[in-house]
Amino acid sequence: MYTEKRGEWCFVIVPAAWSRKTIETILKEEWQVPKKLLHQFRMEKAVLYNGEAVRWTEAVKEGDTLQVWLFPEEVYGIEPEYIEADIVYEDDHVLIADKPYGMDTHPSEKGGKGTLANAVAFHLQTEGIHTKVRHIHRLDKDTTGGVVFAKHALAGAIMDRLLTERKIKRTYWALVEGKVKKGQGKIDEPIGRDRHHATRRRVSPKGDPAVTYYKAVRYLPKQNITLVELELETGRTHQIRVHMSHLGHPLIGDTLYGGHTSLLKRQALHAARIRLLHPITHEQIEVEIPLPADLKKFIQM
């Protein structure tokens, strides 16, 4: 599907698959625009067909143009701060940034600084883009790798839904203690809060369902650690860290869940790949995020 940003408007050339569908059907079924945003579009006359405001019952034709007011100026909601952001993917609708170790995804309080969201706000500012900073998911402070941001409200609403439906796939790499003897497997253990520790989670029969798939990629005998690739079916807090510790292979450096710090001072976890359907064009996006230097050095030993 061809789209083009012109000022505050997104121009969409109607593809063959949309031909003879009504504007309302496209908004409700193709993009699944939430009710609140649909109402806003109606009130603001934010959808035009061939440059004119028409009834949403109008059927569209292949090659014609839909205009949607997707890029109104907004306040960032987060203070832009000069921190160099490593942007690994960006178009008019989606941005994926590589979060470094020791940085929060977003501020925990109003006016907070030093986070990936502050860096993204500054990046947008340098591009002359004024939009609310919308992170779709987050990573722990000491976990590195890809974080997805939406560059307007509709992309944010669609990707929030995709995340809830588990249609944004994230692949992680971790370095864990010991040799993972079973080459691959599925950990299906519920996770709940640890009543003895404010931030720790644990496997608990009364917890929320949690499923992790793992595959041992390489055993490093010199350090007695294993490089493991993981995918989540669910997204519980600390899920990989809890599940690998439960398996008897805590992440190196992860003192909260039994890992040791002799090799690394933080948990060895990296969000290495993100796959999702583009919220507007429905094209497949797959982005690889390279390992940071402190993890890569183990692989090169």
161 and 201 housed in the same domain: no
**76-112: pLDDT as tens digits:** 999 999 999 999 999 999 999 999 999 999 998 888 9
% of the chain with per-residue pLDDT over 70: 100
Q: Residue 39: what residue type?
A: H
Handedness of CA 47, 51, 52, 57 (dihedral sign): negative
CA pair distance 247, 219, nearest whole angstrom: 16
**34-69: pLDDT as tens digits:** 999 999 999 999 999 999 999 999 999 999 999 999
pLDDT given for residue 111 in this prediction:
87
Q: What is the CB neighbour count within 10 angstroms for residue 50?
A: 13
CATH of the domain at 62: 3.10.290.10
Q: What is the mean pLDDT of residues 201-221?
A: 95
The answer to whether the beta carbons of residues 93 and 280 sit under 8 Å apart is yes
Q: How many domains does the chain have?
A: 3
- Residues with a known catalytic role: 140
Q: Is 280 exposed, middle or buried (0-12, 13-18, 19+ CB in 10 A)?
A: buried
Q: In the predicted model, what is the mean pLDDT of the chain?
A: 95
pLDDT given for residue 1 in this prediction:
84
CATH of the domain at 253: 3.30.2350.10
The answer to whether the beta carbons of residues 69 and 44 sit under 8 Å apart is yes
| Helix H or strand E encompassing 41 | helix 35-43
The domain in which residue 182 lies consists of 171-271
156 and 91 housed in the same domain: yes
pLDDT at 10 over 90: yes
pLDDT given for residue 301 in this prediction:
64
Q: Is residue 290 part of a domain?
A: no
Cβ contacts of 146 within 8 Å, gap of 6 or more: 88, 96, 97, 98, 99, 170, 271, 272, 273, 274, 287, 289
141 and 197 housed in the same domain: no
% of the chain with per-residue pLDDT over 90: 92
Out of 26, 53, 68, a domain closes at: 68
Q: Residue 116: what residue type?
A: L
Write down the pTM of the prediction: 0.93
Q: Is residue 81 part of a domain?
A: yes
The CB-side HSE value for 142 (13 A sphere, CA atoms) comes to 16
Out of 143, 165, 187, a domain closes at: 165
**238-256: pLDDT as tens digits:** 999 999 999 999 999 999 9
146 and 202 housed in the same domain: no
Q: Is residue 292 part of a domain?
A: no
